[in-house]
Chain A
Amino acid sequence: MTREFSMNPDTFSCPLPRRDDDFISLAHGGGGKLSQQLIEEAFLPEFSNRYLQDMHDGATLNINNAKIAFTTDSHVITPIFFPGGDIGSLSVCGTVNDLAMCGAKPLFISAGFIIEEGFGKPELIKIVQSMQMAAKRADVHIVTGDTKVVDRGKADKLYINTSGIGIVENHIHISPKRAKPGDSVILSGTIADHGIAVLSNREGLTFDTRLHSDVAPLSELVQLILNQAGDKIHVLRDPTRGGVASALNEIAQQAKVGVAIHENEIRVKDEVRGACELLGFDPLYVANEGKFLCIAAQEKAKDIVETMRAHPLGKQATVIGTVTEGHPGRVLLKTGIGGTRIVEMISGEQLPRIC
């Protein structure tokens, strides 16, 4: 008897044809819908556990009655040096900020380096110094690490993974699911500075700009508002890849609430807007590395904004909108000329337009 369909035990190859979307594309790492899909298809079914379910920037774990936040982040940025920072400062701030967004005070960080053969030692030392400066600024210690070198061409100069732990005060409960109708949505400053600063220096696209990345550790500022408003702060989120639009969409979907924001309240530097106009980018989708969204009870919003504005990293903090009961799962934007539209989550990566 012949069987038309069978597994080949020698190779364990599956007879199913590979579909085109069986390949990982760059868009799967863009922080938008395709990233979400990949997590849901590949990671969650295998790793699923009660800590992972929160789908936050990091996990919050109870260990011996202490609330510990734990997170990890890999950095593969091109170019590795950019105006306002480098891959080193970014790798420390990224993990510090993820911990801060769990409501934690960051404490200890690990650093794993994957280095391409032939990479310059002086550059590496410069990056390590920049990591140490960022760690000092964030008041964390880099306490363990790992180094691997791969053949030339098998990596692009240098990748850094950092993981970190921090401690969360017992009365603090930060979770995207806690966004409630009536809450205020606060943004800590101008958006899209990081994405545009990096892009302006990328190969194939150089334009002159005085713009610097906003990369900075947000933990001190977050601790200030947590001390002030405590449990009245419901959600914290740093809008990195996918920008403010994707972060708010994730929150709206996870909390099953609507979010309404005002275009006129969202601050974008002139040079960033100019670059976005030129490239056909919407700043709402461009990455930030030193800004955060805070969703808090409305009665505390004014005080939180004042506290933020008194700190150098929150000078332009403002309330950009509210959480609503209507249109759950959606973000609506009141446009500058008085119309209303939805703000969709980013699909893949933003592609520069043709004309």
Chain B
Amino acid sequence: MKFVDDYRKQEDAEKVSHAIRQIVKRPWKIMEICGGQTHTFVKYGMDQLLPPEIELVHGPGCPVCVTPLSFVDKAIAISNVDDIIFTSFGDMLRVPGSHSDLLKEKAKGNDIRIVYSPLDSLTLAISHPEKQIVLFGIGFETTAPTIAFTVATAAKLQITNFSVLISHVLVPPAIKALLAADGNKINGFIAPGHVVSITGTEAYQNLAETYRVPFVVTGFEPLDLLTGIYKTVKALEEKDYRCQNNYTRVVLEEGNKTAKHYVQDVFEVCDRTWRGLGNIPNSGYRLKNSYFRYNAEQKFNVASISSEESPVCIAGQILKGEKKPFECAAFAASCNPENPKGAPMVSSEGACSTYYNYKRV
């Protein structure tokens, strides 16, 4: 754990905190895009190490939070079909659909299982030929390669009792939508280190140049984030609008070629609806025609399910960085982890859940 401890030292954190105070001259709004980064900020009480000029706003990078309500309803509908084993990453299970969630459906007797790797779903398909195995394929560019590899493997092994309910989304189009929106107040971005480790930095460099905002690709440890903020503030003060890489121990400029190969083989870009943000053009993946037989939406005829968001939940404003969880009337009142009104209260990477768990005194 030495590797992690090096990025969690109090004396080093204080040094960077001091350096930020030295260079900051004006107030800046900086968005950390990824929910994992939000989690670290709040979990370590890092806001207390920043000068008052810097306001952190929390971005849309929580995969569970942006998966549309209709997809939770579709997942539940599929899990209700006879002889189905529905598999999902763990934190999707508690996300509320219109009337229920997957954990409650599991309690009622549906066969819903947590998998740690998408390939576990394929193993289940091989060991249960009499059942249909469905995988909930959600997330950003980080999870897409593993889902793509799983689908490609299923095709190679000619497995027919396996399919994927896909709601994959892409970060740069969502950031573009935020930057292009009227009244955007975000000055700089902490870019999501793990997403960029797959995709490479090109899309963020283009955004930085087009919209004249700095991006700093950053990791997830306290010192990663503090140095990421330092570089963002420095870039803002110096009007240096490009994408810098502050996570060189993981991120290569060109990204991960193998991962990109599988994604390009299996997926094509499509429009996607984001929970709270609405439809964003070219912001997601769907299966290419050559793999369309693995599309669970078609296979189980749930494509037409559409759902209305709870009017109480202000997830959209939270995910756009317009409001903080404290500013929601339902926060910690009618909305809490036992009875979440919206996805940001569910995922460990959701801003509301993070605030609820670490920041109420």
Residue positions of A touching B, CB distance < 8 A:
20-21, 23-27, 33-34, 37, 204-205, 270, 273-274, 277, 279-280, 327, 330, 332, 335-342, 344, 347-348, 351-355
In the bound assembly, the distance between CA atoms of A5 and B204 in angstroms comes to 62
Are A332 and B4 in contact, with the CB atoms below 8 A? Answer: no
Quick one: closest A residue to B9, CB to CB? A337
The reply to whether the CB of B349 lies closer than 8 angstroms to some CB of chain A is: yes
| Residues of chain B contacted by A348 (CB below 8 angstroms) | 94, 103, 337-338
Find chain B residues with CB under 8 A from A335 CB. Answer: 43-45
Q: Does B10 contact A (CB under 8 A)?
A: yes
The reply to whether A204 and B45 form a contact with Cβ atoms under 8 Å apart is no
- Bound state CA distance, A339 and B42, in angstroms? 9
Contacts of B222 in A (CB 8 A): 336-337
Q: Are A25 and B103 in contact (CB under 8 A)?
A: yes
Considering only residues 338-353 of chain B, those with a C-beta below 8 Å from chain A are: 338-339, 347-349
Pairs A–B under 8 Å by Cβ, sample size 29: A21-B104, A23-B107, A25-B103, A26-B106, A270-B1, A327-B361, A335-B43, A336-B8, A337-B8, A337-B9, A337-B49, A338-B49, A339-B45, A339-B47, A339-B49, A341-B42, A341-B45, A341-B358, A344-B358, A347-B336, A347-B338, A351-B114, A353-B348, A354-B90, A354-B138, A354-B347, A355-B36, A355-B63, A355-B140
Q: Does the CB pair B361–A330 fall under 8 Å?
A: yes
Q: Which of B125-157 contact A (CB under 8 A)?
A: 138-140, 142-143
Write out the residue numbers on chain B whose beta carbons fall within 8 Å of the beta carbon of A21.
104, 339
Q: Kindly state the separation between the CA atoms of A27 and B47 in the bound complex, as whole angstroms.
A: 32
Q: Does the CB pair A204–B113 fall under 8 Å?
A: yes
B94 and A351 contacting across the interface, CB-CB below 8 Å:
yes
Contact B108 A351, beta carbon cutoff 8 Å: no
Residue of A nearest to B90 (CB): A351
Q: Of residues 72 to 111 in B, which have CB atoms within 8 Å of A's CB atoms? A: 89-94, 99-100, 103-104, 106-108
Report yes or no: B107 in contact with A341, Cβ–Cβ below 8 A. Answer: no
Inter-chain contact A37/B104, CB cutoff 8 Å: no
Majority secondary structure, A binding face = loop
Chain A residue numbers with a CB within 8 Å of B14 are: 338
Contact status A204-B91, CB under 8 Å: no
A contact residues around B337 at 8 Å (CB): 33, 347-348
Q: A25-B107, A26-B107, A339-B45 are in contact. Are A351 and B91 (CB under 8 A)?
A: yes
B115 sits at the interface (CB 8 A): yes
CB-nearest residue of chain B to A207: B116
Q: Whole-angstrom distance from the CB of B97 to the nearest CB of chain A?
A: 10
Q: How far is the CA of A341 from the CA of B40 in the complex (A)?
A: 11
Residues of the B chain whose Cβ atoms lie less than 8 Å from the Cβ of A355? 36, 63, 89, 139-140, 142-143, 194
Asked if A342 and B349 make an inter-chain contact with CB atoms under 8 angstroms apart, the answer reads: no
Question: Once the chains bind, are A354 and B89 in contact (CB under 8 Å)?
Answer: yes
A342 touches B103 (CB 8 A): no
**Which A residues are in CB contact (< 8 Å) with B336?**
347
Between A270, A337, A339, A353, the greatest number of chain B beta carbons within 10 A of the residue's beta carbon is seen for: A337
A338 touches B13 (CB 8 A): yes
- B108 lies within 8 A of A23 (CB): yes
* CB-defined contacts of B359 to chain A, threshold 8 Å: 341-342
Q: From residue B352, how far is it (CB to closest CB) to chain A in Å? A: 13
| Chain B positions 34-72 with a Cβ under 8 Å from a chain A Cβ | 36, 42-49, 63-64
Complex contacts, B92 vs chain A, CB 8 Å: 354
Does B26 lie at the interface of the complex (its beta carbon under 8 Å from any beta carbon of A)?
Answer: no
Whether A332 contacts B361 by the Cβ 8 Å rule is yes
Residues of chain B within 8 A (CB-CB) of A25 are 103-104, 106-107
Q: Which residues of A contact B9 (CB under 8 A)?
A: 336-337
- Chain A residues, Cβ within 8 Å of B8: 336-337
Given known pairs A20-B99, A337-B8, the reply for A354 and B44 (CB within 8 Å) is no
